[in-house]
Structure 1
Amino acid sequence: MRVGVVGIGWAGQQHLAAYSRMDGVRIVSLAGMEKDLRDSLQAEYSIPSAFDGWEEMLQHGGLDAISVAVPTFLHAPISIAALEQGLHVLSEKPLARNAVEGRAMVDAARKAGRVLDVAFNHRRRGDIQALKQIIDDGGVGRPYYAKASWLRRAGIPMMGSWFTNPELAGGGPLADIGVHALDYALHLLGEPKVVAVSATTHSELGPRGRGGNNRYSAMAASHPFEVEDFASAFLRLEGGATLLLEAGWASYREVEDLLDFTVYGTDGGAELKVQGAPMAAVGELKVFTDKDGENADYVPPAVPGRAHQAVVEDFVAAVRGGAEVWGRHDGSLALSRAHIIDACYQSAQEQKEVRL
């Protein structure tokens, strides 16, 4: 299987490392604008061809699939062009800047009869997988309330870059890290349909040059800060359950990042807290329940997940599965997330609940 990777930042490097560990997969092309880094990665992974731009890579040919690990505004044009050439595509999250672009990507995948997958790597965490098994097995009964968050103290990514430009990124932390929390929350809850959202967004620190640190290179400003730095949303789920979603790049809270999930069910509850930057391999997972009227809380075992390695392996497996499998990997799940994020931004702008 001949693959190419577009984008040589942190995400692109995760894809390169994952592909390089797989039997029967060869990285044959690399595209990225930072020449010194591109040359270094090309040498490290013995990649035959390297290009400045993705257009050159696609024109060169010789590919079966590509990974798209570039700024969000490029996801749709690159993915659609590749799909139209008959290539399979693994894109970084979010699917696109909005659901309109995402729909065009899904339509292109369906028309081409090719795989379009999106890298939601946090659902591959070992602690989330352990909790998923508990919920699926009825360990908390019927979930009726959940909360999912990804919060930072000072984590605006490259303030003044494409991340803080709505035309390039599609939004702020809600679109960037909130989509991860949304994805793993709905995954844990069994993919309930979201029927309505009520959301708020705030931009309090970023416009004043606050909320960055060295890890996120926050003060290299070339564009004004035009997105939110904190967002919250109340989601009504089909069947009556609710989900509270929070996403923040910057707020006055504890220094360490927090990724978490809480669920209350008819027969139990659970809490997962992953604190620390970079994210701890295994977070604190607790399950609360009772037996014969007595407290029966416990700490279930969880092992480190495999993040992008698992994402890439799933993508390769889907491609190798043949046409009967490809139709189940057309980007529809990521598109559903895009519709929800769009509805949240609409709700925040109009200051009212939006039904989906």
Structure 2
Amino acid sequence: MPKEKAKASNEKVKIGVIGCGAIAQIIHFPVLSKMEDVEIVAIADTDKTKVATLADKYKIERYFTDHEKLLALDEIDGVHICTPNNLHEPITIEALGAGKHVMVEKPISRSYDEARRMADEAKKRKKNLMVGMNHRFRPDAMVLKNFVKGKELGKIFYTKAGWLRRRGSWNESEWAKKKHMAGGGVFMDLGIPMLDLSIWLMDNPKVKSVFSTMYNHYQKEGIEDSAAMMIRFDNDAMLNLEVSWTLLMENDFMYTNLFGTLGGALLNPLRIHKEMHGNLVNVTPTKMEKPENNYRKSYEYELKHFVECIKHNRPVMSSGEEAAEIMRVAEAIYQSAKEKKEIVLK
């Protein structure tokens, strides 16, 4: 991080948003517009009608169809990049080169090489590069993280996680179904954030090897719509992860279960049990956010964190460096599925 002067407490952080699709409209604009210490200075999207309509709705004076014009504005402190995955790398590198801090939506990129170049550029420019891994900011996930950090559950030796959607409930943008734009299928969409959350909750052990299987039952673009994998770590812990867009099941289901030598925890909804004096005791905090609020709150806390890091000149949680390592593991997972064998990471 640069030795920049921290902003005054009453000085607003000036943000630009590039990409005005679903995630920007549902999350970024509503959340940013309600933050008293933030001003959305300008927005950009190639769709002229869309960007003009959103600028009018949120009373944003400057809007562009060319993102380079937004990046040329000196007063902008940070940029949110909410474009399709194939544009993450070039726009991030341009934004960092223009002296902006960057928050880019997940996944960071389509490949490890792209992610590596992005992280290296952030380091070179001495700017923050944050990746939108919002699940880390769920109130229940943050509580569970504190239990793990405090060794309350002992050594975490096994984690089971998944994000399973029933067939017909998946309603992502069309670009997410195209490999050249998204980088892959359901694993890029749901698997990357669950992999990141699981490893973060396990206190970031180093991945030793992966074995995965992927299925393409319904997608015409040749991308996976279901995937399952086993991940081994250097500390002998193991993670089983499953994701799908197309299961024939009653409801969608997202979960992360951690098991340690002193206790276990289930996320969504949060339940924590510990062995105490020979008995298994429920130690789940009683004052918790309602489960249905966790997802929305995760985005609010995530965006606030990025703004606070700009304001006080602090490093971000969920950095480009961390995301690049996740992409290195992701490439091994795709390689394992293709070659039908375990892949050992070097």
Match of 1:320 among 303, 311, 336: 311
The alignment's C-alpha RMSD in Å is: 2.0
What does residue 33 of structure 1 align with? 46
Unaligned runs of 5+ in 2: 1-12
Match of 1:247 in 2: 243
Q: Deviations over 1:278-321 (max 9, x none)?
A: xxxxx322223333323323543321442222111111122223
Select the residue among 24, 43, 47 that pairs with 2:37: 24
Which amino acid letter does the alignment assign opposite residue 12 of structure 1? A
Which residue does the alignment assign to 1:338?
327
Unaligned runs of 5+ in 1: 208-224, 273-282
Partner of 2:18: 6
Deviation track 1:240-274 (CA, whole Å, cap 9, x = no partner) reads 000011111111222x21110111211111222xx
Q: 1:269 aligns with which of 259, 264, 288?
A: 264
Contact (CA 8 Å) 1:113, 1:326: kept in 2 or not?
no
Shift of 1:74: 0.5
After superposition, residues 1-356 of structure 1 pair within 5 angstroms as: 1-13=13-25, 14-59=27-72, 62-154=75-167, 155-158=169-172, 161-207=174-220, 225-254=221-250, 256-272=251-267, 283-301=268-286, 302-303=288-289, 304-305=293-294, 306-322=297-313, 325-326=314-315, 331-356=320-345
Q: Give distance in 2, aligned partners of 1:156 and 1:346.
A: 25
| CA–CA separation in structure 1 for the residues paired with 2:316 and 2:57 | 35
Distance 1:106 1:171, change over 3 A: same
Rounded Cα–Cα distance in structure 2 between residues aligned with 1:39 and 1:347: 45
Change (3 A) 1:99 1:157: farther
In the alignment, the residues of structure 2 paired with residue 190 and residue 109 of structure 1 have an alpha-carbon distance, to the nearest angstrom, of 24
Instruction: For 1:137 and 1:104, locate their aligned partners in 2 and report how far apart those are by CA, in whole Å.
Output: 35
Aligned length: 325
Does the Cα contact within 8 Å between 1:115 and 1:329 map onto a contact in 2? no
Q: Distance in 2 between matches of 1:284 and 1:107?
A: 37
Greater shift, 177-186 or 13-22, is seen at 13-22
Q: TM-score, normalised by structure 2?
A: 0.88
With over 3 angstroms needed to count, the CA separation of the structure-2 counterparts of 1:44 and 1:148, relative to structure 1, is same
Asked if the contact 2:164–2:253 (Cα under 8 Å) also holds between the matched residues in 1, the reply is yes
* Structure 2 SS opposite 1:19: helix
Q: Shift in Å at residue 338 of structure 1?
A: 1.0
Shift of 1:327: 8.8
For 1:217, the equivalent position in structure 2 comes to none
2-side partners of 1:158 and 1:138: how far apart?
38
Work out whether residues 114 and 330 of structure 1, in 8 Å CA contact, stay in contact via their aligned partners in 2: no
Task: Select between 301-310 and 336-345 the one with higher mean Cα deviation.
Answer: 301-310
Q: Provide the rounded CA distance (Å) in 1 between the counterparts of 2:284 and 2:342.
A: 37
CA contact (8 A) 1:113 1:327 kept: no
The one-letter code of the counterpart of 2:332 is: A
Residues 294 and 309 of structure 1: CA distance in aligned 2, closer, same or farther (over 3 Å): closer
